[in-house]
Amino acid sequence: MNRRVLVTGGARGIGRAVVEAFAATGDQVAVHHGASRDAAEQLVAELPGDGHVVVGADLSDAEQVRRAVDAAAQALGGLDVLVNNAGVFMAHPPLTTLYDQWQLAWASTLAVNLVGAANVTFCAVPHLVSGGGGSIVNVSSRGAFRGEPDCPAYGASKAGLNAFGQSMALALAPQGISVSTVAPGFVETDMAREVLDGPGGDAVRAQSPFGRVAHPHEVAAAVLWLASEPARFASGTIIDVNGASYLRT
């Protein structure tokens, strides 16, 4: 049976590449969006195969999360894979940001990147269990390890997501559910476009000995493998996809 997959933040960037990768294997995908309904609907219309659906939710709203996850499971007839990809990035350098802006950045970033992903996972688990198990893959960031000086809430949210994923890997293994993580560096997406096209773009590309940043499909390939049955025993792992721009010991 083809897998039933929910991808948060699936309309653009890494999420879009992940959706396309699953659909190309014959899986049915629920594409979640926050404020990009048109892009999500256009993507679903272009995907190969049938049965793909669009679900919308503000991931900072716990009740919207519950309704969206349940709607995805109902439309697909269950869930086998969850990909927590949605995320926000707000610059708030600590030495130049006003206190109210600092508070907003922290609250907004954690609400989506960490608490939102935790709530999506919580709501998806009963559907995965009822289907006999499955896979959860979280999309983290290199910034969880090397730090994000201009966006510390983002780095903290992704470090928290790593810890959350490993906790869930321990909790859910008895239910036949693997939980693993992909940690990209810079990726050629709309979210990174301003940096990559700006005066610092060449320096960012030079961080990798390949002299470039990742393409979305390269991150999607790692997600696809971690969600596969042969990768089940890799539960709890974090795979770096950063072109050797940052090496963990």
Q: Which amino acid is at 186?
A: F
Residue found under tokens 């005066």: 199
Q: Residue 103 has what pLDDT? A: 98
Q: Residue 14 has what pLDDT? A: 97
Q: How far apart are CA 170 and CA 59, in angstroms?
A: 24
Mean pLDDT of 93-109: 98
- pLDDT exceeds 90 at position 194: no
- Are 37 and 43 in contact by the 8 Å Cβ rule? The answer is no
Q: How far apart are CA 187 and CA 173, in angstroms?
A: 31
Closest listed residue to residue 145, CA positions, set 110, 181, 97, 109:
181
Q: Residue 1 has what pLDDT? A: 60
Mean pLDDT of 22-35: 97
Mean pLDDT of 98-106: 98
H/E element holding 124? helix 117-130
What is the average pLDDT value for the chain, to the nearest integer?
A: 97
Closest listed residue to residue 32, CA positions, set 3, 53, 52, 56:
56
Class of domain 4-241: alpha beta
pLDDT confidence band for 249 (50 / 70 / 90): confident
Q: How far apart are CA 162 and CA 230, in angstroms?
A: 22
pTM as predicted: 0.96
Q: Residue 191 has what pLDDT? A: 76
Q: Residue 193 has what pLDDT? A: 83
Give yes or no: 99 in active site.
no
Q: How far apart are CA 32 and CA 42, in angstroms?
A: 13
H/E element holding 166? helix 152-172
Per-residue pLDDT tens over the stretch 205-242: 999 999 999 999 999 999 999 999 999 999 999 999 99
Please pick, among 154, 159, 177, 231, the residue that the annotation labels catalytic.
Answer: 154
